Structure 1
């Protein structure tokens, strides 16, 4: 999750909010790949969760990483809650339950992304192993109850924790007990953004199915392949999920702004303090509803940037597009997720093919697929075929896009190699979640504990 912004430029009107998004348009040669991945820290002795403040806790991890990397600390009420590379080329942040996130630098190739991820995990192991800490690559916390899960001392999370139970059944589970791999991608123009948004919204449930990796909750099977996917069906449906208006043939920046204005806010930052604003929408804020509540009670561009970062649709629009459908997973998945989407969206021929494949998919079609995937994974039936069959076709398109990009490493291999873990899912016909469940019922002897060995970084 990005560091909260404090840009004090006042907002004069809606045109500025639209222009803010439009500033993300970049020529193709400046397109980059930003990969984020989260993982659960745990103590090797007993497989318990890692709290923030103990001698062997999250704070000590962050302080160790700061010494190793030389990155600047991100502070909240004097407590270090993240690190940022001094020139803005990457950050480490904490999710509410202590999930450790790397927000990677904007890079040109998946090869660079994979090297970045490997370097991060190696650095983290160097700091964590003397503390008896390792990291789990799953989409959902498999063992600890919500009550057992630590809480990180971030002001925005205190506000969200109070608010979430008011707006959905699973908001606290989303905050404290899920992990994701996410990729952030650029667009050239409003029309290019529209095409990429529509294709990626339609294919996001397929991504959830291919990356399904959260079959356990509270130490036992939960009846799902992607518990994380199920959680997102009822977290906060005002700000999350599948956006029907994005399916319009003339969808643009102004439509997203219009939607975002009517979503309740979480907070604003004034004088270094977070103020709870969950009782008003951004549109009401712009109309002066906070004048008597906070100092400088009119919105700034920093407030707008922060508000956009608290919206949770399956594909999030900021000054880039965020692919948000995948469960966290083992290290090979960290490279596979950006490869999947870069192949589909960063090559003209591939984007044309993906758009043609999904052209007549309706909002209702995709919503039904999205609702079925958490339980059924790649066995979900869609338009008379399974998602396993659809995945073959979509992976072929992604592979074509990566071949066309022709970005090779020093050994001459192109980026298609990073799709191999997804090819294996399709070839086997079973997701990572199903493989874990098979292990649980056979060689793990109905015990959750081996997951901490076999799926650890």
Structure 2
């Protein structure tokens, strides 16, 4: 989750909030790729999650990255809660999941170099303290009671609120990991088309990247338990957003939706002020109970946008949010998948053709089926495997059309980053299927084997 936003003066109108989103419009030459991924840290000997404090801890990891690799610390009070360097940042999820939010980069080649460099740094520091990191969509064994709590005021407020509005909120916060990519748009119509494609086809990404078939120490009956968790978290801020597909959707419609998402907090002078359940509309009028008489700043609005959790999210860019965290090579496959679908106009049009006839009920059915059955999902006589094969071919065509070379010109384009997904559509197997085969086969039901086998 995000670190506090900065910048921007007072604002009192919804029009100004829509203008803030519209400032994200960029010419194609300025489009960038921002990849984020989360991972679980654990102690090698006990296989327990890393606590925040101590010689073998999250704090030790952050300090090791700071001291060994030149990262600048981000503090909340006396606690180091993140790092910044060269346009990227490392932050903490509530249960200590370590997240890299990558810099905005030109190509998947650069993005993958960044991911590789980060994971090498993490492994080097982790090895010195007897820790490891693993990429999964959900913690396979650890109970809620086992999870540490990171010292961030934002998370204290959210933990209390989650229990009031849904049944799976704290599971999301403390025991899940994702990989996502943030992408640009040229104009309001371009944003609309991309966001519609993102939402309609997000279940395809969920199926291809499904990697959380275990929870509480046993199989949970789904390929992506992480995706299942999001369905019962908080209906006011999650979902497939049918209004995005309505005529007239644009920046103003997103603002209208976001204003009705209940607030979590306001960040002031290094602390989080409790605004749980309060209204940003009231804030615009200077009538927020948490800060009577004050109006929001644009940084308050930016913070509020980070508390909205649909399957795809609009800020000054679009976030693709439907994939489980996973093994190393799939961290590069996720941005390749979405860049291929959305950064070439012919590919974007073809991607929209795949799902444009689906109504809201069908899109939701795909969301549910993808989490349960992965590539074996079926809805209305259609097969997810067939759809994924078609969508992946579109993504490949989009990357070929970009024709951005790598490795000093030795690699013609970015299509090879899709190889892991191509294997999935050829075999019908996603990471969750592989994990389940191990569990029922050579692991003999011993889930502790997952740590050595899938350690970064």
Between 42-51 and 176-185, report the one with greater CA deviation: 42-51
The CA deviation at 1:7 is: 3.2
2:286 corresponds to: 288
2:39 corresponds to: 39
TM-score, normalised by the number of residues in structure 1:
0.97
Q: What is the aligned counterpart of 2:381 among 381, 384, 400?
A: 384
Structure 1 position 448 matched with structure 2 position 437: no
State the distance in 2 between where 1:174 and 1:341 align.
23
State the distance in 2 between where 1:110 and 1:230 align.
29
SS at match of 2:144: coil
Once the two structures are superposed, residues 176-202 of structure 1 have per-residue CA deviations (whole angstroms, 9 ceiling, x without a partner) of 000000000000000000000001100
1:67 corresponds to: 67
Once the two structures are superposed, residues 388-438 of structure 1 have per-residue CA deviations (whole angstroms, 9 ceiling, x without a partner) of 111110000000000000011122242110111011111111221111111
State the distance in 2 between where 1:139 and 1:271 align.
34
2:4 corresponds to: 4
1:143 corresponds to: 141
State the distance in 2 between where 1:279 and 1:362 align.
31
2:119 corresponds to: 121
Q: How does 1:14-413 map to 2 (within 5 A)?
A: 14-85=14-85, 89-290=87-288, 293-294=290-291, 297-409=294-406, 410=408, 411-413=410-412
Count of equivalent residues: 454
Q: Is the 8 A contact 1:316 1:322 kept in 2?
A: yes
State the distance in 2 between where 1:244 and 1:358 align.
13
Once the two structures are superposed, residues 325-382 of structure 1 have per-residue CA deviations (whole angstroms, 9 ceiling, x without a partner) of 0000000010000000000000011011111222211111101111122111111113
The CA deviation at 1:298 is: 1.9
Once the two structures are superposed, residues 106-153 of structure 1 have per-residue CA deviations (whole angstroms, 9 ceiling, x without a partner) of 011101111111100111111110101110110000010000011100
* Structure 2 unaligned regions, length at least 5: none
2:426 corresponds to: 427
State the distance in 1 between where 2:307 and 2:290 align.
21
Once the two structures are superposed, residues 295-333 of structure 1 have per-residue CA deviations (whole angstroms, 9 ceiling, x without a partner) of 763211111000001100110000000000000000001
Between 194-203 and 269-278, report the one with greater CA deviation: 269-278
State the distance in 1 between where 2:8 and 2:101 align.
25
Q: Is the 8 A contact 2:12 2:296 kept in 1?
A: no
State the distance in 1 between where 2:269 and 2:293 align.
10
Q: Is the 8 A contact 1:7 1:303 kept in 2?
A: no
